[in-house]
Amino acid sequence: MKAFCFSVILIFFAITTHAQDQTPVSDYNKTLADSLGADEYGMKWYVMVMLKSGATQIKSRDSISWLYKGHVDAINEMTNNGTLVVTGPMGKNDKNYRSFFILNTSKINVAQEMMNQNPAVKYGLFDTEYFFWYGPAALPTYRRFQPMIEAKKP
């Protein structure tokens, strides 16, 4: 009898949970969802790139400065053309990760082409690791609000 009652309760929760999953959202905006490339859950695939310390040892301060300037220029260009969604530095870690990028593509080969435009990657100051990442399709829209909350530019 206990097993029967447990089964009935389990089925009840499964049905109500399934029904909740299928409930349409009243604020849904198909035009916006389509423009952001969202699936039915408001999500989409991106490529996450982890930058880590590269194997190339560069001694010249001028070369390092040139590579870092090119790195920042590449970040700005990718941000301006909408291919870079989010980036930021990493705290100290045992994997030598220096920063991450979330790119507005679902293809690793496209992400590799984008990252190879960055001289710090191209010349080995940074190595890259690529991962598929499933995240909110609305993530790129944060940029509209970011300037409103920055008291100082980084």
Higher pLDDT, 18 or 99: 99
Q: In terms of C-beta distances under 8 Å and separation of at least 24 residues, what long-range contacts does 83-92 make, across chains too?
A: 83/114, 85/46, 85/139, 85/140, 86/139, 86/142
In tens, the pLDDT along 45-80 reads: 999 999 999 988 888 999 999 999 999 999 999 999
Please state the pTM of the whole predicted model: 0.78
Query: What is the band of 6 on the pLDDT scale with cuts at 50, 70, 90?
Result: very low
Query: What is the band of 15 on the pLDDT scale with cuts at 50, 70, 90?
Result: low
In a domain, 124, yes or no: yes
Report the pLDDT value the prediction gives residue 24, as an integer from 0 to 100. 72
In a domain, 7, yes or no: no
Q: Token match 């039915």: residue?
A: 40
Report the pLDDT value the prediction gives residue 21, as an integer from 0 to 100. 57
Domain count, the chain: 1
CATH value at residue 130: 3.30.70.1060
Q: Token match 């109500």: residue?
A: 16
In a domain, 126, yes or no: yes
In a domain, 29, yes or no: no
Query: What is the span of the domain harbouring residue 135?
Result: 45-140
* Residue 5 scores a pLDDT above 80: no
Query: What is the band of 18 on the pLDDT scale with cuts at 50, 70, 90?
Result: low
